[in-house]
Chains A and B, each alone.
Chain A
């Protein structure tokens, strides 16, 4: 057994152990903290699968932003945990559920072991047309060019989620702002961290977006880092979340999909149809779309984490 193999096995065992902890932990808060660690370990597994783009997304969104969302929810729900425990399933039902889940897992494991190697692949097609897009990163090419329709609809899903979250606001808070209020005096480690980290993080986020054309990275990963920076300054109470009726906020939220759709429709006139790019102009157009998508993601993720407005609008 080589060192790498031993590392792989250790990593898989660690991932499963932490995943098990998030299920068996007594307190929701402890389980959620375990989930953040789990997400980071999982992104190491993605690196070992040579999927660095996925690893970046998992670390930033799957572990980081989801972690912030769940930790703040767990902290707010701490008091309600006790009444829920009296609804626990009885031992026979738990055993039955365990058996069913073990069968599902075993069936999937069998599928994994019986999968043909090499399997079916679209990699040659992706490689063949990569030069036409002018990009070096095939995953960005899949996201913004070959399967652009999926990515555009996904942006729409993000906006629908924001509308869904906002619509949960009580009537008297509609048009107000979510999240904590700004305080005049900043103290403590979080405020210091936010002041130190945010400028660096913004540079890193923009860089990850920009290199995404040729190297691992892109709009999702860069946007998620920018989103994290905005969240940390809001949580440190250095700035307040904007009120949900602010025009600039709404424009930023929809900028990504609107620009994507506009350039997609333009494809009818200047290229060969919806969401196609004219020859020679693919790369600038893709980067143009990605820039607005990065901006939209950086605004959407914090709005989803902050939740519905929690105070009435200012008169």
Chain B
């Protein structure tokens, strides 16, 4: 089995693991973490596409590689925004739950936390 296939299979397994964490973890921070895991699995599958496109003296096709680099940066900005939203939610309600019917703390208790 070549390195590229092995990396692709690792990517497939990572997507499965990340998806599982995203569905089952109640804590939003764990969901964000699992979503990043899922994303890096997708990037790895791009990696095998790049490696299989090796031609013209390049060890890997540069186009998917450039897209992965762009993807990593965009994934980071989305993560940063998600974390900021979560911290603000905790500041406002004192809870991390995403349930709409959750009882909120009185607004004073959570502010400036």
Contact = CB atoms under 8 A, between A and B. Distances in A.
B109 to A, nearest CB: 12
Given A15-B10, A126-B62, A23 B76 contact: no
Contacts of A84: 26-27, 96-97
Given A12-B10, A66-B76, A105-B15, A49 B29 contact: no
B53 A61 contact: no
Interface in A139-190: 139, 141-143, 146-147, 150-151, 154, 157-158, 160-161, 164-165, 168, 170
Interface residues of B, number: 82
A116 B5 CA distance: 11
A112 B58 contact: no
A123 B66 CA distance: 12
B34 A23 contact: yes
Nearest to A60: B72
B32 to A, nearest CB: 7
A119 B50 CA distance: 9
B45 A112 contact: yes
Interface stretch (A67-75, A194-202, A240-248, A280-288): A67-75
Contacts of A218: 69
Residue among A54, A83, A158, A218 having the largest count of chain B Cβ atoms under 10 Å? A54
A128 B36 CA distance: 35
Given A15-B10, A126-B56, A139-B62, A105 B16 contact: yes
A51 B75 contact: no
Nearest to A160: B77
A161 B74 CA distance: 9
Interface string B65-85: 111111011111111110111
Given A28-B27, A84-B27, A105-B15, A124 B55 contact: yes
A12 B72 contact: no
Contacts, number: 291
Contacts of A12: 6-7, 9-10
A154 B74 contact: yes
Given A122-B63, A165-B81, A308-B88, A65 B16 contact: no
Contact of A61 (B14, B37, B60, B73): B73
B16 A102 contact: yes
Residue among B27, B48, B84, B96 having the largest count of chain A Cβ atoms under 10 Å? B84
A32 B10 contact: no
Given A48-B3, A73-B83, A19 B58 contact: no
Contacts of B72: 54, 57-58, 61-62
A76 B110 CA distance: 13
Q: Give chain A's interface residue range (CB within 8 Å of chain B).
A: 35 or more
A9 interface: yes
A49 B5 CA distance: 10
Given A16-B13, A19-B37, A69 B20 contact: no
A101 B16 contact: yes
Contacts of B21: 22-23
A301 to B, nearest CB: 7
A109 B19 contact: no
B104 interface: no
B48 A126 contact: no
B79 A69 contact: yes
Contacts of B87: 73, 76-77, 307
Contacts of A111: 12
Contacts of B58: 123, 126-127, 138
10 contacts: A22-B21, A23-B37, A38-B40, A58-B72, A73-B83, A77-B90, A80-B96, A84-B26, A112-B11, A121-B55
Given A4-B3, A70-B79, A77-B87, 16 more contacts: A22-B37, A51-B50, A66-B79, A73-B83, A83-B97, A84-B27, A88-B26, A98-B20, A106-B16, A119-B49, A122-B62, A122-B63, A126-B62, A147-B67, A151-B70, A301-B76
4 cross-chain pairs, A with B, having the tightest CB-CB distances, nearest first: A105-B16, A121-B53, A112-B8, A50-B59
